[in-house]
Structure 1
Amino acid sequence: MTGSALPADLDDTTVTDAAVASFQDTPDPRLRACLSILVEHLHAAVREMELTLTEWEEAVDFLTATGQKCDDTRQEFVLLSDVLGISSLVENINHRMSPGATEATVLGPFHMTGSPHRELGDSIDDMGRYEPCLVTGRVVSVDGTPLAGASVDVWQADPDGYYDVQRPDVVPPGNGRGLFTTDDEGRFWFTTVVPSHYPIPTDGPVGGLLTATARHPYRPAHIHFIATANGHTPVTTHIFVADSPYLDSDAVFAVKRSLVRDFGRVDDPDTAARHGLPHPFVHADIDLVLEPARREELA
């Protein structure tokens, strides 16, 4: 019977190299590189903090609770990514756009249910209890070419600060959501309500983290958009209400100056009548400017 030599004992100075080396046969080079970098940085953080066993157990419990809080309409891990600034960082890295393209920002945790298809001019407010607001815009390429047949996915909170999935016993599914297709001139328009600023969910582990770190949970008022067009890179973005609280301290680090819009009152009886609105009415406008897709995106 042939024996084999035992490896050298690992300690806090050598375990990192051993863990990184364990991935050396990973067939996918990108996965191998990502795991190696992740392990190196996690080990460095643990070493710098001199993490205690109790703290390690608390971290494991926190991540376990975060997973247990996720369901079909709630993504606590996305929320955690948001409040740590990771979501914003990933968006910024992956959307280094040409000058003039619409800036991207975070998806957020509430794009967990499909938006209903709606016709141009429809209302996404299925409750009808609030003052209507007209939102207009275009989807265009960076050279100004209108993008006909583009998809514009929209979702937002209501004036009380809630998404439909947060109050399923009060509002119908799809309230505050709509999936639109641009016309031949790349235009889209719909009616809605001016959303409110609101707190991100605080009834889970992420809320506990904010409390422990004396951070507020609020987001400024905004409307979400995802614009998609053939031959172009999609953009996930918001428009923010110009006079909303928390523009300077968004809990998820998503505000960009180029995305702040006036939701102003317009006294235009003809436009109001064309859209079935009272006058004066509230109006906001945005052009969603897409960059042509890179070659690898078209492959």
Structure 2
Amino acid sequence: MDNEQSAASSPKHSSIITDEGSVTAVVLDAMADTPNARLREVMASFVRHMHAFAREVQLTEEEFDLGIDVLNRIGQASNDLHNEAILFSDAIGFSTLVCLLNNGRNGATETASALLGPFWRMNSPPTPNGGSIVRSETPGPALFASCRITDPQGRPLAGVEVDVWQASPVGLYENQDANQSEMNLRGKFMTDPDGRFWFRSVKPAGYPVPTGGPVGDLLRAQNRHPYRPAHLHFLCFKPGYKTLVTQVFVGGDEYLGSDVVFGVTEHLICNCRQGEGTTPAAHLAGPWFQLDHAFVMEPGEAKLPQPPIK
């Protein structure tokens, strides 16, 4: 072994623990030479907070073992069709906090962003404006959405790629439901020169998040309901502008004030009204609804998130 290898393998800091009070300092000292400055900052803060948490609650060994088991079960419950880790982060409000920390700095769009959620898929089908995202028989009243995207000065943004997805009125996304066609209630639109896009769907309903894994156990232990208010998801992408990930909630929904994943802000509650007379699509009968909403995109870096499912 040459001198360089010997130096790399030899500890630079003593890891000998003298008592409970010395653990944190020893760990921080061991990580102090991390070359990546951001990793060094994040990990040091993480260690300080985790150690302080254990001291504050006087964490027992049994509780520690339970926590490790929950982490393992979260990983085991995640697959190509379901992301339990994202769901857990949503259910403790962490996803919304991170979203607002990174998107709440401009007054006009302070609460326009929302959590991505665990059900976005990358390759939803391109759909012309005015087209339908109902791709298989789906119960519920028709919904006609008319939306517009501008910059913070109110100027229309043409050529924005807009991903739309929602659960069916029975409360399931198509990847959860064998009765729905592939990519049902998903579509990708492009804004016109006036920044507008429009489409037909069905009026969404509130639904429970999956409760068969660790997140469900947590909600039951906390005496919390598992429901989300009715909503549609939107992801707006255009080079030169910060990608907008948001949700639009149906006003009047009974769960607006108690969303299980803490995703509702006042700015995201939409104008969704029952239509009068015949529907805009002559072949459709029965009650129908009109949804109108305006989105604002800020200049910035355009990048897509990592899809939580395939």
Q: Deviations over 1:238-288 (max 9, x none)?
A: 11011211100000111011111232122365x815x86558631001111
- Once structures 1 and 2 are overlaid, which stretch shifts more, 5-14 or 194-203? 5-14
1:121 lines up with 2:142 in the alignment: no
Equivalent residue, structure 2, for 1:39: 47
Q: Tell me: CA distance 1:276–1:239, structure 2 relative to 1, closer, same or farther (3 Å).
A: farther
In the comparison of the two structures, how many residue pairs are matched? Answer: 289
Partner of 1:289: 296
Structure 1 gaps of 5+ residues are none
Q: Is the 8 A contact 2:174 2:185 kept in 1?
A: yes
Paired-residue identity, %: 39
**2:152 corresponding residue in structure 1:** 142
Matched, 1:263 2:272: yes
Deviations 1:148-190 (A, max 9, x none): 11011111011111111111x2111211111111111111001
- Output one character per residue of 1:97-128: Cα deviation in whole Å (capped at 9) or x when no partner: 42322611111111145322211111111124
Please name the residue that 1:221 is paired with.
Answer: 230
Q: Distance in 2 between matches of 1:183 and 1:75?
A: 34
- Cα distance in structure 1, aligned partners of 2:223 and 2:138: 35
Aligned to 1:166: 176
1:207 aligns with 2:216: yes
- Partner SS for 2:246: strand
Once the two structures are TM-superposed, the CA of residue 294 in structure 1 deviates from its matched residue by 6.8
Equivalent residue number for residue 157 of structure 1: 167
- The amino acid across from 2:298 in the alignment is E
Indicate conservation of the 8 Å contact 1:107/1:236, yes or no.
yes
Letter in 1 for 2:96: S
CA RMSD of aligned residues (A): 2.1
Where do 5+ consecutive residues of structure 2 fail to align?
Answer: 1-10, 303-310
**Corresponding residue number in structure 2 for 1:83:** 91
TM-score (norm 1): 0.91
Given that 2:17 and 2:23 are in contact with CA atoms closer than 8 Å, whether structure 1 keeps it comes out as: no
Secondary structure of the structure 2 residue equivalent to 1:48? helix
Name the SS for the 2:123 alignment partner.
Answer: coil
Q: Are residue 54 (structure 1) and residue 62 (structure 2) matched?
A: yes
Distance 1:112 1:43, change over 3 A: farther
Q: Determine if the alignment matches structure 1 residue 187 to structure 2 residue 196.
A: yes
Task: Say if 1:144 and 1:7 are closer, same or farther in 2 by CA, change over 3 A.
Answer: closer
**d(CA) in 1 for partners of 2:171 and 2:211?**
14
Aligned-pair distance for 1:55?
1.0
Cross-structure match for 2:8: none
